[in-house]
Structure 1
């Protein structure tokens, strides 16, 4: 038998929506453990893109 989920996917989705809409960190504490959801940083024009990974031949 599996252990029930610590937090439900729907709850995480709601937290992510609020974090993105309000641009804040959302935190919930369950049984002494804290879960934080941060909004994704917005891309700016001056950010550099990383070069694609290539395989190294030895």
Structure 2
């Protein structure tokens, strides 16, 4: 996504930092989905989008 490229260009993180950030986002989202699936569908939607974006960022 263009906004992610701009964000990354502004931050200028090294590759290891970027990978750790992606790992943190993926970890948060994977824990969030099953815990809140019945009580917070809007939050689950955000978590699912996060998972999709993190995985797509790897391609």
Structure having the higher Rg: 1
**The structure with more helix, counted as a fraction of residues:** 2
Higher relative contact order (CA 8 A, sep 6+): 2
**The structure with more strand, counted as a fraction of residues:** 1
**TM-score w.r.t. length of structure 1:** 0.32
**TM-score w.r.t. length of structure 2:** 0.31
